[in-house]
Structure 1
């Protein structure tokens, strides 16, 4: 497996590169200039002898650029790309439509957070209880109100975070019930608050080190590469476990 990495110069990208070196995995840094046109990208592909899975952890414009490239590749070159894993969030409607068309050519997996703990958090919210209701449905039936708080470092641009939006969707929590805080160097805290008249509960996930996202991203790429799914939008739930 060879990983083509978009966003290698970012904070997460730097950690992904370090982890790839530690695991002795081959990879290529795909720079902004490589995505400007087909000839530039083809020149990069010619230096990669094996099949590639692309990991995009850049910005929405980076996702747009790689999708435009993929949609214009010839079939023989397209076969070299086994999938596109996207950890970027904040795509607009036009970019989402572009992703949809690109998924007809290669498998695409969009992940708002590469943490296994966040994945488990989401599954807890959607899990069925003995009543046949999901955890969040049961909470509301028991009279609990629900809200979310998410805290990240001051350099994080989007608010609420993609992870908060994903968890809120799992718990059917409206956007107005999400509070975002940007402070210090916090890696990432996500909490669901359940409150009734005389009692309250809190479900919380805390990321202690940014490297967990790098490790999770690489493992997800490995799983998708190994399982070799057909083109289309992939459910991330199918690839967190190898």
Structure 2
């Protein structure tokens, strides 16, 4: 069994991961870390990573960017892989994650859904072809407690589109006032409300036709399943950077 240390175990995603992991025959949550240690857990929970006594094989992080330094220190000391599912990192923090991958296996994806990553692969193949005749807009919707905007997934899709297009493009984060659209823009729009789990829509708007590619998460379970797949994938890897692209491409050939 692959033994996981779950960082952010008391959050909504941490709770879902704990539930899904109970049905696994290949991995188990051996310990948890959270600032709030009270809860109905079937594993020990710590409020400091330095106090973790259990031998663990992989760290799975669904917390906040502020925990990055302590996670890096922990996995470096133990020389074990880490799966980062947190979003909202600064450029400096992303550089630190990249540097960490020289020492241990690092799995980092903005969205752990298999479906979103299939959409992302589709965008790689079609964006440059459509760009000449279509305007491109991205709309993302999330619950009213989400901290970062636009979402990490929206930025993942936007950067995939931008990197796939040979011409120069630029992001436009919403519009206000007199804001006539320029063709080189890739529009990114964030909506927050209620308990929307996560909707992402990419619109290619042309003359006389519109192509829409949409993904809707109807349960947080989809992210938990993907995160646990990531733990299985990175468990026996050598140091380096890995993502859901690796998992998807091992399964589906584009």
Write the distance in 2 (CA, Å) between the matches of 1:6 and 1:175. 33
Structure 1 counterpart of 2:137: 147
Asked if 1:212 is matched to 2:222, the reply is yes
Asked if 1:175 is matched to 2:133, the reply is no
Whichever structure has more helix as a proportion of its residues is 1
Question: Structure 1 runs of 4+ off > 3 angstroms?
Answer: 31-36
Contact 1:60 1:91 in 2 (8 A): yes
Structure 1 counterpart of 2:207: 197
Write the distance in 2 (CA, Å) between the matches of 1:119 and 1:69. 29
Write the distance in 2 (CA, Å) between the matches of 1:169 and 1:65. 28
Question: Tell me, which stretches of 5 or more residues in structure 1 are unaligned?
Answer: 128-134
TM-score (norm 1): 0.83
Contact 1:35 1:69 in 2 (8 A): no
TM-score (norm 2): 0.79
Structure 1 counterpart of 2:18: 17
Contact 1:56 1:63 in 2 (8 A): no
Structure 1 counterpart of 2:237: 229
**Structure 1 residues 13 and 161 mapped into 2: Cα distance closer, same or farther (>3 Å)?**
same
Please state how far the C-alpha of 1:236 moved relative to its aligned partner.
3.1
Please state how far the C-alpha of 1:26 moved relative to its aligned partner.
2.3
Question: Tell me, which stretches of 5 or more residues in structure 2 are unaligned?
Answer: 38-45, 163-168, 173-186
| TM-align CA RMSD | 2.0
**Structure 1 residues 239 and 196 mapped into 2: Cα distance closer, same or farther (>3 Å)?**
closer
**Structure 1 residues 218 and 101 mapped into 2: Cα distance closer, same or farther (>3 Å)?**
same
Equivalenced residues, count: 218
Write the distance in 2 (CA, Å) between the matches of 1:12 and 1:146. 31
**Structure 1 residues 102 and 26 mapped into 2: Cα distance closer, same or farther (>3 Å)?**
same
